[in-house]
Structure 1
Amino acid sequence: MKHERKIVMVVNQVKMEDEDRLDVLFWLSRPVSERLSEVSRLRKNYFTWSDGEFPEKIEKVVHQRKL
């Protein structure tokens, strides 16, 4: 006898403002070294995707959003 498995779609609706705040709070809870490492990884992925290569020079500027 074969058992059928069903996958149920689950959706949680949240306001973008709430989600943004949770994201900021999460990253603020992480060590600075981890945050910088993730920013570097995202930059490399973005530039490689958009330009095909990572630029030799990148301006080192960090902007922090207010909660």
Structure 2
Amino acid sequence: MVANKVKMEDEDSLDVQFWLSQPASARIAELTRLRHEYYIWLIGEFPSQMEKTVMRRKI
């Protein structure tokens, strides 16, 4: 196990760098896992259906 000491203000940029270095499939898998855990914590179960909503930001 390796531990690195970082300043709190540098932590966000390190997180962004880490996730940008991961393949899209790994990022989506982690998002799905976190969403699943959140719904179980929030309502005690994962919904059988979810509404699909996609929003694009104007650049």
Relative to the length of structure 1, the TM-score reads 0.62
In structure 1, how many angstroms separate the alpha carbons of the residues matched to 2:43 and 2:22? Answer: 30
Identity across matched positions, percent: 49
The corresponding residue for 1:38 is 30
CA RMSD, Structure 1 to Structure 2 (Å): 2.3
Q: Which has the higher helix share?
A: 2
Larger Rg: 1
Instruction: Say if 2:7 is the partner of 1:14.
Output: yes
**Dislocated runs of 4+, deviation >2 Å:** 58-63
Q: Which has the higher contact order (CA 8 A, sep 6+)?
A: 1
Give unmatched runs, 5+ long, in structure 2.
Answer: none
- How many matched pairs? 51
